[in-house]
Amino acid sequence: MSASRAPRSPWLPKLVVAPTFLLSFLFIYGLMAWNGYLSLSASRLLPNYEFVGLDQYRALFENERWWTALTNLGIFGVLFIGGTTVLGLLLAILLDQKIRAEGVLRTIYLYPMALSFIVTGTAWKWILNPGLGIEHLVQSWGFENFRFDWLVDPDHALYCVVIAGIWQSSGFVMALFLAGLRGIDDSIIKAAQVDGASLGRIYWRILIPTLRPVFFSTVMVVAHIAIKSFDLVVALTAGGPGYATDLPATFMYTMAFSRGQIGLGAASATMMLATIAAIVVPYLYSELRSKS
């Protein structure tokens, strides 16, 4: 009764997807290539396509503020990656004990990840403000000598960014580690318990070593977040006091859009891209190699 359908043309799905693919390729890789050329040009207030070679990169690495941003990125990256990894792992181990209200706690820990970094930065700016937040609250309780003014202290302001970043991302890291722990065969744990191993030794000697792929993925993702951190810094400290919390992303934005040095800003953006590529490409290679 029913007529047989005509075979679907093999090129039809490709034709449907082609416009999206071409636009994505143009607006991602095309603009990346354009930025790379601007970093080799004499662009200042407006794009100038006069080729000047590596002059912008020489100017970049002679810029004291750029070295300050790199130093801050090193400190922020180490503390942020280490803090989120350790805290996320501890939270995952806690929830792996099948405690009561696990679902509620998991939601609470994951909630900060649902917020944008702008919201996180603004909230922590209020919390750490000496006149509004923790310092004001504790002093109102009668501890008038209490001081917690890191946000306005050039020597400690960067640690405020670290605190806010860890608070935002540790729940995401917890979810990764918890998924890894729940994927381990229970028979391994039961066998270790039969041999008399304590719970702490089981995690330290058996379970955590098996999470090496999760550790690797976590470090890659969190390092990527650290390198391109911009909105959190802008909302929390705006790069200050002075240049105390300046990072490469805020340096790039300031040079390109506030100081009218597009070529210098493009050079810094290219260096950030190269750093991210140095992290992501080995990760992708290892993932493809493991699946082959």
Could you report the per-residue pLDDT of 206-265, keeping only the tens digit for each? 888 889 889 988 998 899 899 889 999 999 998 889 899 999 999 999 998 888 899 999
For residue 38, what pLDDT is reported? Answer: 93
CA atoms within 13 A on the CB side of 119: 8
Containing 211, the helix (H) or strand (E) segment is none
Instruction: Decide which of 2.60.40.10, 2.60.120.10, 1.10.3720.10, 1.20.1090.10 is the CATH code for 66-291.
Output: 1.10.3720.10
Helix ranges restricted to H, 26-156: 31-38, 55-61, 64-95, 102-110, 117-128, 134-140
Q: How far apart are CA 173 and CA 216, in angstroms?
A: 12
pLDDT at 8 over 70: no
Tokens of 232: 């959190």
For residue 205, what pLDDT is reported? Answer: 86
Q: How far apart are CA 183 and CA 188, in angstroms?
A: 11
DSSP 144: T
For residue 163, what pLDDT is reported? Answer: 95
Higher per-residue confidence, 277 vs 283:
277
Q: How far apart are CA 241 and CA 156, in angstroms?
A: 10
At residue 56, what is the residue type? Q
Domain ranges within the chain, ordered by starting residue: 66-291
Tokens of 180: 């890894």
Name which of 3-12, 133-142, 170-179, 278-287 the model is least confident about.
Answer: 3-12
In DSSP terms, which residues pair with 51 in a beta bridge?
41
> Comparing C-alpha atoms, which of 166, 163, 173 is closest to residue 91?
173
For residue 186, what pLDDT is reported? Answer: 81
Could you report the per-residue pLDDT of 15-47, keeping only the tens digit for each? 888 888 888 888 888 989 999 999 999 998 888
For residue 1, what pLDDT is reported? Answer: 47
Category of 197 on φ-ψ map: left (φ > 0), alpha (ψ -120 to 50) or beta: beta
Helix ranges restricted to H, 208-261: 212-227, 231-236, 248-253
For residue 4, what pLDDT is reported? Answer: 53
